[in-house]
Amino acid sequence: MKLYYMPAACSLAPHIILRELGITADLVQVDHKTHRTDDGRDFLELSPFGYVPLLELDDGTHLREGAAILQYLADLKPELGLAPANGTMERYRLQEWLNFLTSEIHKGFIPLLYARLAGTYGTGTAKPKLEERFAWLDNVLAENDYLMGASFTVADAYLYSLVQWGQAEWLEPTYRADIHFDTLNYLKAWYLRVRTRPAVRRALDLEGLR
């Protein structure tokens, strides 16, 4: 199994889940400017849009969407509870979360990551909307340690990989956005809680992050 990733990108989420599962996979780094892999291949031949994550299975099958990859990985070891069982209402709740994170949080960050291109749309429209979503998440986390309740799931790994873009001042400009949640106590506590998980620390270390 191979995980194609870029350091600090949303591919951090499946990387974290691999560590949570204790599954060994080859990490293949992709340069975000040249779209070349660290072993010299053209990543665009594998992923036409150049996006990570991409998971390559041992039989050569490719999974290219983060939400699908996260659920696939969690289902490899269902006993760990990183995703509820298929066919249950809780599994649909997880999919609800993953869709929300994809459309409202992940997509919401894009104008902030490309602030020069976004211009006033980023600061005048995208940022206030994302701040509203952060405030809503803060309210959710006022009653729960994690997004789905008392237990860490793949949704938390995904959210963590996104919100670090606004919290980690050490990130290079490509992966840093001008948005913080220092005044949102529950979201901040969740962020720090997730950050201390051994699997998260290991993934950060392996990607050369802090």
CATH of the domain at 166: 1.20.1050.10
pLDDT value of position 95: 98
Last residue of a domain, one of 63, 80, 97: 80
- pLDDT at residue 112 above 90? no
**Predicted TM-score (pTM) of this structure:** 0.93
Query: Pick the residue with more confidence: 38 or 178?
Result: 38
Domain termination residue (choose one: 34, 59, 80):
80
Q: What are the b/e assignments for 179-195, b being 16+ CB within 10 Å?
A: bebeebebbbebbebbe
Residue 127 is predicted with a pLDDT of 86
Residue 107 has pLDDT above 90, yes or no: yes
pLDDT for position 119: 64
Does 204 score more than 90 pLDDT?
yes
End position of a domain, from candidates 20, 47, 80: 80
Do 190 and 93 share a structural domain? yes
pLDDT at 114: 73
Q: What is the distance between the alpha carbons of residues 66 and 40, in angstroms, rounded to a whole number?
A: 24
CATH number of the domain where residue 36 is located: 3.40.30.10
More confident of the two residues 159 and 180: 159
Check residues 124 and 50 and name the one with the higher pLDDT.
Answer: 50
Domain count, the chain: 2
Beta strands in 32-170 (DSSP E): 54-56, 62-63
Domain hosting residue 111, numbered range: 89-197
In whole angstroms, give the CA distance from residue 23 to residue 41.
25
Query: Tell me, what DSSP letter sits at residue 149?
Result: B
Same domain, yes or no, for 109 and 176?
A: yes
Residue 203 in any domain: the answer is no
Instruction: State whether 34 and 57 are in the same domain.
Output: yes
**What gap in Å lies between CA 13 and CA 164, rounded to an integer?**
11
Specify burial of residue 59 (Cβ count, 10 A radius: 0-12, 13-18, 19+).
Answer: exposed
Share of the chain above pLDDT 90, in %: 78
